[in-house]
Amino acid sequence: MRQIIFDTETTGLDPAQGHRIVEIGCVEMVNRMSTGKNLHIYLNPDRDSDPEALAVHGLTTEFLSDKPRFADVADEFVTFIQGAELIAHNAAFDVKFFNAELAKTGRGPITEYCETITDSLLHARSLFPGKRNSLDALCDRFGISNAHRTLHGALLDSQLLAEVWLAMTRGQDALLIDVDDNDGAGSDGIVLAKFDASGLVVVKASDDELAEHETYLAALDKSVGGECVWRKLDAPVAAA
Give catalytic residue positions.
152
DSSP code of 239?
A: P
* Strand, helix or coil for residue 200: coil
Neighbours of 88 (CB within 10 A): 24
Residues 105 and 70 sit within 8 Å (Cβ to Cβ): yes
The two beta strands, 2-10 and 21-30, are: antiparallel
| Cα–Cα distance, 41 to 50 (Å, whole number) | 20
| Cα–Cα distance, 61 to 20 (Å, whole number) | 12
| Cα–Cα distance, 85 to 11 (Å, whole number) | 26
DSSP code of 62?
A: H
Measured at the CA of 224, the angle between CA 220 and CA 230, to 5 degrees, comes to 50
| Cα–Cα distance, 4 to 98 (Å, whole number) | 15
- Strands of the chain, DSSP E: 2-10, 21-30, 33-42, 85-88, 116-119
Neighbours of 214 (CB within 10 A): 10
Instruction: Residue 160: name the closest of 58, 25, 56, 12 by CA.
Output: 25
